[in-house]
Chain A
Amino acid sequence: MALERKDVENIAHLARLSISEADIPEYARNLSNILALVEQMSVVDTNGVSPMAHPLEASQRLREDTVTEADQRGHFQAIAPAVEAGLYLVPKVIE
């Protein structure tokens, strides 16, 4: 499947990645080559084969619904780019 410029732009938007205009053709080429590699799977008949999401077919382990962690917000926020009053600061979202 060959990807075109608008495909790359669309995927980059979904992934929230800025890609410069100049780089788009190279990404389109590399991604198309990777998809060509991946498409080799399509020749194999997988009718009736169940998908394997986990190597050991395990399911989510559960525990008692009790509080076990301490409040470390201050400690974790010490490395944030911008915080105020316990909140992470970002550019205005709502006009």
Chain B
Amino acid sequence: MHNKSLTELSTGLIAGQFSSEELTRHFLDRIDRLDGQLNSFITVTAEQALTQARQADTRRNRGEAGPLTGIPLVQKDIFCTNGVRTSCGSKMLYNFIAPYDATVVARCNDAGMVMLGKANMDEFAMGSSNETSFYGPVKNPWDTAAVPGGSSGGSAAAVAARLTPAATGTDTGGSIRQPAALCGISGIKPTYGRVSRYGMIAFASSLDQAGPMARSAEDCALLLGAMAGFDPRDSTSVEREVPDYRATLGNGLKGLKIGLPKEYFGAGLDPAVGQAVQAAIDEYRKLGAEVVDISLPNTGLAVPTYYVVAPAECSSNLSRMDGVRFGYRCENPKDLEDLYKRSRGEGFGAEVKRRIMIGTYALSAGYYDAYYLKAQQMRHLISDDFRRAFEQVDVIMGPTSPTVAFNAGEKTDDPVAMYLADVYTIAANLAGLPGMSIPAGFVNNRPVGLQIIGNYFDEARLLNVAHQYQLATDWHQRMPHGFE
């Protein structure tokens, strides 16, 4: 059952081959037996899942089921889930029982999905390896000596190990796409504003975006359809109709123009990863696509720009964690300043504190122009690069990550080395463009991801382009050993 896609599970439930309760018990049992090796869950909601599963079965018997009714799902622990701990991977929120549901969660629940639990993640979504979580690091199911990527490392690992058929993730600098690549699964970061951020604990408000993570583009299309759409509670939510993402999956790719930025295939890219990606591009040529060399000249400045914008916004967003209204409070504060400083100093991990401090510095008097304002100007230049590229091509492709999964502990001593892992993913967040990663091969038994970047609100095209590749290849169907 755990090898079935979302579509197959949906068909199976409709045909009465199994009930949602049986399906849910199956996954809960797998989580219980196997997650000890991965640590991909912070909270497992077994009782609640079984209740939701029974309700889904009742809905089905009444003829009221939709395509996602009764299907299990894992929510990244960044989404507020009413009555269930929402930790964001941090000690700061170790006891935060969310008093409401995020819109993403409410929409999944309304569709009848069954929440198995909350996925582990880098603390406050800051990280590229899921090593900064207060709840322990997550392991990569393909090789437990390796990281799964981050920040949605728990979501990616759980899907790859088939502890869940799908999961939600969030992506601020690559946090859906990079773990999807490192864990050999499919994930999409939609256009900024496509999916509501209400109830999604904020890291960088102008960059954050939620998206689906599953084992195929077809499955992502199904889940994205439930997640996406205008939400009046999110002032950055875009009023634009959500297409049926599945309807266009079958379109042929003849005449599709694919841009390959020369900056994505240069220094810093592992040659074996580059070869795997070129082989994937060759598949696209066979499918009728035309490949065009392009340039995104400001690519090299994307990481420096991001490491001003994201920390600046996070320093503002995380100021609400003050030990007053919810979350961790230090013992015996002697005055208000001590309450703030020690609650935050003790509640936040080192990476989070580093980013808050960089952000505070960049926004402080005397430095705002040199750093924050400059970064916002760079952001404009980076977006213009893409705008010009999309005048020539329909989609842009390249590697998602410069390497396959690295070993745990390899980059934890050098924050800047860790930051450079995001070189290919970050620009899409700065520009607000949609981006996807799909499996495209292996190097030393560790998965390689192909990144596909699209124009604003072109998610349907990305999913179609990805799906056609998945019809012609089977990388996305490979499974890690030990999780059969």
From 432 to 455 in chain B, residues with beta carbon under 8 angstroms from any chain A beta carbon are 432-433
Query: Across the interface, which residues of A come within 8 angstroms of B279, CB to CB?
Result: none
Question: Are B99 and A76 closer than 8 Å at their CB atoms?
Answer: yes
Q: Report Cα–Cα, A90/B335, bound state, in Å.
A: 8
Question: Are A46 and B371 closer than 8 Å at their CB atoms?
Answer: no
Question: Are B374 and A46 closer than 8 Å at their CB atoms?
Answer: yes
Query: Across the interface, which residues of B come within 8 angstroms of A85, CB to CB?
Result: none
Is the CB of A67 closer than 8 A to any CB of chain B? no
Is the CB of B298 closer than 8 A to any CB of chain A? yes
Q: Which residue of A lies closest to B383 (CB)?
A: A52
Question: Are A16 and B344 closer than 8 Å at their CB atoms?
Answer: yes
B279-297 CB mask vs A (1 if < 8 Å, else 0) is 0000000000000000000
Say which size band chain B's interface belongs to: 35 or more
Question: Are A53 and B335 closer than 8 Å at their CB atoms?
Answer: no
Q: Which residue of B lies closest to A75 (CB)?
A: B99
From 293 to 316 in chain B, residues with beta carbon under 8 angstroms from any chain A beta carbon are 298, 300-301, 303-305, 307-308, 315
Question: Are A27 and B304 closer than 8 Å at their CB atoms?
Answer: no
Query: Across the interface, which residues of A come within 8 angstroms of B203, CB to CB?
Result: none
Q: Report Cα–Cα, A18/B340, bound state, in Å.
A: 9
Number of interface residues of A (CB under 8 A): 51
Question: Which of B63-71, B141-149, B324-332 contacts the other chain?
Answer: B324-332
Known: A49-B377, A52-B383. A38 touches B348 (CB 8 A): no
Q: Report Cα–Cα, A30/B307, bound state, in Å.
A: 13
Question: Are B381 and A15 closer than 8 Å at their CB atoms?
Answer: no
Known: A38-B304, A79-B96. A33 touches B416 (CB 8 A): yes
Q: Which residue of A lies closest to B375 (CB)?
A: A41
Which of A17, A46, A49, A52 is the one whose CB lies under 8 Å from B357? Answer: A17
Query: Across the interface, which residues of A come within 8 angstroms of B334, CB to CB?
Result: 91
Is the CB of B29 closer than 8 A to any CB of chain A? no
Query: Across the interface, which residues of A come within 8 angstroms of B315, CB to CB?
Result: 15
A76-95 CB mask vs B (1 if < 8 Å, else 0) is 11111110000010111100
Q: Which residue of B lies closest to A62 (CB)?
A: B235
Question: Which of B30-38, B121-129, B265-273, B358-366 contacts the other chain?
Answer: B358-366
Question: Are B192 and A80 closer than 8 Å at their CB atoms?
Answer: no
Q: Which residue of A lies closest to B360 (CB)?
A: A15
Is the CB of B356 closer than 8 A to any CB of chain A? yes
Question: Are A53 and B376 closer than 8 Å at their CB atoms?
Answer: yes
Question: Are B374 and A54 closer than 8 Å at their CB atoms?
Answer: no
Which of A8, A27, A58, A93 is the one whose CB lies under 8 Å from B335? Answer: A93
Question: Are A18 and B344 closer than 8 Å at their CB atoms?
Answer: yes
Query: Across the interface, which residues of A come within 8 angstroms of B340, CB to CB?
Result: 16
Q: Report Cα–Cα, A33/B244, bound state, in Å.
A: 46
A28-53 CB mask vs B (1 if < 8 Å, else 0) is 00110111111111101010011111
Q: Top 7 A-B pairs ranked by shortest CB distance?
A: A55-B432, A18-B345, A51-B376, A46-B377, A18-B341, A16-B340, A52-B380
Give 23 pairs: A residue, B residue, CB < 8 Å, sorted on A: A11-B361, A11-B364, A14-B360, A17-B341, A17-B348, A17-B353, A31-B357, A31-B358, A33-B414, A34-B415, A35-B358, A36-B416, A37-B419, A40-B304, A41-B375, A41-B378, A46-B378, A52-B379, A54-B206, A55-B192, A60-B235, A78-B99, A79-B96
